[in-house]
Each structure stands twice: as structure tokens, then as C-alpha cells.
Amino acid sequence: MSAESSSAPENNALSELLDLSMPANSEAIATVVDTISETLTHLEVPEQKRFEVALAVQEALANAVVHGCGNDPSKQVRCRLKSDPHGRIVIIVTDPGPGFSPDLLADPKQRENLYADHGRGVYLIRQLMDEVHFEHSGNEIRMWKY
Amino acid sequence: MGPAVDGLRQTMEEALGSGDTRIVLNLAEVSMIDSSGIGLLVRFLASTKQRGGNIKLVQPNKFAVQTLRLVGVLNLFEIFDDDDVAVESFA
């Protein structure tokens, strides 16, 4: 299922840079985010872009841990980092959960939601990344940064 | 998310539990605020305001400001460069 436009390159044009798995534990998120940030630093990705990717990955992993795995550390979340020949990167986060429908999420900037204590993660990802797709009924998110 | 947000939640609950509603939060050492941190901030902001208080932010970095702006809550907070000025603003 795709939630956004589709101009991303075909998968066979992508080079895999990282393939990480982590237990569904919130304390494991930082290590994965740091590993991705370090890889982007080595690729000489500018600081602003690294920040935007890191925060988007943080949010995607948090959603996978909490909603996809129910905070069950016996379950695994997979996070892959790939790039295409033009230097564009994509991060793919997959969880074993049933997925969800991102189009049903409320707008966190609506007045009645401003003081809500949740519901901003997917919105933030969409703001931070250039292209966002949800696959496999929503339990896999593909986030592109150009 | 995780220990950082849990620690802030505990600190804020203790402050509110002891009757403190005028809170200055120095974010100089915070490199990134995620949605769980923002949720915590706005929830406690609402709690303090309901009791006549407020939460004032000091020295958030450019990424924290950007994130707060992206989700539309930046203008809910007063932001200062200096702890003392933030404290004095409650007078």
C-alpha cells in the first residue's frame, strides 16, 4: 500500500548499505539511529539532512517497537539503509505486526490535537523525508531522502 | 523515547507533585526531540497552565526548534537564551 506518490527507483537499482535487526525494545533504538547517522557521516551527507533522517528513523523505529511489536522484546524490528546510483537514500523499517492505515491518522496540527501526548510520529516522518511509502498493509515503511 | 523521556517524565511529575507549576527547562544538552518528547512537553505544559503556571524553554538547538515548528507547537512555548532571564520572566 502506498500513501504517497511513486517516483522512487526500482529496488534492483539500489545498493544495500546496512541491514540491521534489533529487539523490540525502546532502549535499542538509539544504537540503530547512531549507526545510520555514522554511515551517513561517512557518506558525507550534510548535517541538516543527517538530522532529518535520524529523527525520521527514530520515529519509524519507535512506531515499530510500540505499535508493531507491542513492546515485546522477543520480537524483532528490521532496519535497512540503501542508496541508488544518484546518491538518494532510502531507509526501510519492517516489523512483524499487522500494520495500520496511515491515512486514518489525525492531523496533529489541528487545534484540538495540539496538546495531545501522541500522534505526531508519522506526521513528522512525512515532513522530514522527501517520499514516504507504507507497504505490506502498513508494517513496512520506506522513507526516501534525496 | 526511552530513558531520556522517562527521566524527564519522572522529573516533571515530581515537580508538579510538589506543587511547582512554574518550570524552566534548559534544553542546551538535548540534541534531538522526538514525538514522544514533544508529547510529554505539551502534556505537562497543559498541566502547568491549568494550574496557573507555565513551562519555559531555554537554549533549544536549531533542530529542536525546527522539530517543534514542524508539528505546530513551537508558538505554545516561550523560549529564552538564558536561564536567569527565563526565571525572571515569571516575576
- Domains of chain A by start residue, with CATH: 11-145 (3.30.565.10)
Residue B89 to residue A16: CA distance in whole angstroms: 52
Q: Pick A26's closest partner by Cβ from B1, B67, B73.
A: B1
Predicted TM-score of the model (pTM): 0.91
* Residue B46: its H or E element: helix B35-50
B71 touches chain A (CB under 8 A): yes
Q: What ipTM is given for this predicted complex?
A: 0.90
Per-residue pLDDT of chain A (146 residues; tens, 9 = 90+): 334 444 555 556 899 999 999 999 999 999 999 999 999 999 999 999 999 999 999 999 999 999 999 999 999 999 999 999 988 999 999 999 998 888 889 999 999 999 999 999 999 999 999 999 999 888 999 999 99
All structural domains of chain B:
3-88 (3.30.750.24)
Residues in B closer than 8 angstroms to A117, CB to CB, are 39-40, 42-43
Any A CB within 8 A of B54 CB: no
Strand partners, A91: A81, A143
Q: In terms of DSSP H, where are the helices of chain A?
A: 29-42, 47-63, 121-128
- Report the residue of A71, A115, A127 to disrupt the B interface, i.e. the one with the largest count of B CBs within 10 Å: A115
Q: Are A60 and A29 in contact (CB under 8 A)?
A: no
